Structure 1
Amino acid sequence: MNVEHLTGQDGAGCGPPAYKAVIFDMDGVVTDTAAVHAAAWKALFDEVLPDLTESPVPGFDVEEDYRRYVDGRPREDGVRSFLAARGVALPDGNPGDPPGPRTVHGLAARKQELFAERLAEGGVTVFPGTVALLRRLRADGLLTALVTSSRNSEAVLAAANVSDLFDARVDGSDAVRLSLAGKPDPAMFLEAARRLRVDPARSVIVEDAEAGVRAGARGGFGLVVGVDRTGNRARLLAAGAHLVVEDLAALCYQRVFPSGAQGSTSR
């Protein structure tokens, strides 16, 4: 796919078929909470790794390890993925495990506790370029949805005052209730498209995580836009992004959506 015209890097070219919907990831795309998540993950593993390994292993790096092992994944998958990279395997335990037990679910619950503490302390900010894009899409009649592995989406969106910018939302709680596999499986994105009643081929995915980009590519979505705020461009492209921008303000709107809402479903 030739995508130069989508970021305004050339002077001409026909636009792609009109898209009907745009599906956004939350952390790192809509809300600036990725750093809060990364800090909570680091606090968790700094706390438990000494008890789980017989000899010292490298701790959790808030940039490299966050992107590679936990970003965009359900909490339990993040626990498994990072610990496996350090040669540690834990029993799953039970979904109701409280924070504390050395099980996958226990550590996931502890991570949630640490995240909630940091969220309460620092609040939520949004990326202005993303909010501006959301408002323009909705003004033009396109449908919007949020897909996130987080089970905090309702509280985060409310705190950021952007809940009204989405026609549908699929989050980690939905994934558990509906037995939807987490990213990089496309199941959650496909569920969002189903709720919007839009063909995935006529939908755009916007993601900052490699796992999310892979999910969009595997799901047959018409366009996968990677958002690179941390120098991760090459990995996002390798994961299947059709184009990568540092901020959604850089997206050439008229060339990505040349027909506005033409052919889109009504609200």
Structure 2
Amino acid sequence: MDDLKNEIDWSRYEAVLFDLDGVLTATAKIHSICWKRMFDAFLKRRAAERNESFEPFDADQDYKAYVDGRLRYDGVRFFLASRGIELPEGAVDDPPERETVCGLGNRKDAMVGEILAAEQVDVFEGSIRLVRWLLQQGIRTAVVSASKNCPAVLQAAGIAEMFEQRIDGHVAEALCLPGKPAPDTYLKAAEILGIAPEKAVVVEDAISGVQAGRAGGFGLVIGVDRHGDAERLADHGADIVVKDLGELVPETANPQEF
């Protein structure tokens, strides 16, 4: 599969649709940390109230299986269901201290916001090199992210102007689009760009993301292996898996031009 990265005929594609966290920006770790802090506090308090043993949120396995790449409230629902826990749905404006699906999701989002306000947002340089090269070739770009922090992250990273369209958690909520692994957010991005899915490329680091790309019938699905998941990404829909998107910039390209 790795050899295929050198055989991509980019002239076949008119747009590339990028996930954000873990693909363009090194913010996936922030989300993982905040999910763990939020869920561990909730689970510890619940276990104490019920005189049960405390089983913490696994920042590796639970994160990948239930929340990575998903819309925030979907992540809460999927993880709670894995533990057999039922909570009221609540409302999107529930305060963070309210123990509802939305309240827990908002609690996690508040934690992310605090970290983003205090820390610099780093980008993956190889990813940005690829974006610049694609733009130089006249290939359009968009960001498709489950995060409602997407606009702030793009601005903080200084890369917002590199993407023509953005479908994020706010847009998905407003348009009632189901999150990944459903393909709807990616399909909406392609629709807004006026490009058929088979003429577009999806780039993802999450299992749910490559599943979305495959389900949407996109022309090419590229998996970015940030966590040693190359085989799983391929098994769930990635046509090509790379460690760094910079690998996809043609060797003949002049780096000084982009």
Q: Return the TM-score normalized by structure 2.
A: 0.92
For the residue of structure 2 that corresponds to 1:169, the secondary structure is: strand
Contact 1:71 1:211 in 2 (8 A): yes
Match of 1:241 among 218, 238, 251: 238
User: What is aligned with 2:17?
Assistant: 23
Assess, with a 3 A threshold, how the Cα gap between structure 1 residues 57 and 196 changes in structure 2: closer, same or farther: same
Assess, with a 3 A threshold, how the Cα gap between structure 1 residues 166 and 15 changes in structure 2: closer, same or farther: closer
Q: 27-36 or 235-244, which moves further after superposition?
A: 235-244
Using the TM superposition, give the Cα deviation of residue 16 of structure 1 relative to its aligned residue in structure 2, in angstroms: 7.2
Match of 1:48 among 42, 47, 51: 42
* Mapped partners of 1:206, 1:14: distance in 2: 14
Match of 1:7 among 5, 8, 14: 5
Contact 2:129 2:249 in 1 (8 A): no
Assess, with a 3 A threshold, how the Cα gap between structure 1 residues 244 and 51 changes in structure 2: closer, same or farther: same
Using the TM superposition, give the Cα deviation of residue 251 of structure 1 relative to its aligned residue in structure 2, in angstroms: 2.0
Matched, 1:32 2:26: yes
User: What is aligned with 1:260?
Assistant: none
User: What is aligned with 2:135?
Assistant: 138
Letter of the structure 1 residue corresponding to residue 26 of structure 2: D
| 1:43-67 deviation line (CA, Å, top 9, x unaligned) | 1011110233432242112222111
Aligned residues: 249
| 1:145-195 deviation line (CA, Å, top 9, x unaligned) | 000000111111000000011011100000011111111110000010011
Contact 1:6 1:251 in 2 (8 A): no
User: What is aligned with 2:256?
Assistant: none
Contact 1:99 1:107 in 2 (8 A): yes
User: What is aligned with 1:149?
Assistant: 146
Unpaired segments ≥5 residues, structure 2: 253-258
Using the TM superposition, give the Cα deviation of residue 79 of structure 1 relative to its aligned residue in structure 2, in angstroms: 0.8
For the residue of structure 1 that corresponds to 2:12, the secondary structure is: coil
Identity over aligned pairs, percent: 46
Using the TM superposition, give the Cα deviation of residue 4 of structure 1 relative to its aligned residue in structure 2, in angstroms: 5.2
CA RMSD of aligned residues (A): 1.7
* Structure with bigger RCO (C-alpha 8 Å, 6+ apart): 1
Q: How does 1:50-129 map to 2 (within 5 A)?
A: 50-53=44-47, 54=50, 55-129=52-126
* Mapped partners of 1:90, 1:30: distance in 2: 34
Contact 1:208 1:228 in 2 (8 A): yes
Contact 1:7 1:252 in 2 (8 A): no
Contact 1:40 1:118 in 2 (8 A): no
* Mapped partners of 1:196, 1:228: distance in 2: 27
Assess, with a 3 A threshold, how the Cα gap between structure 1 residues 176 and 80 changes in structure 2: closer, same or farther: same
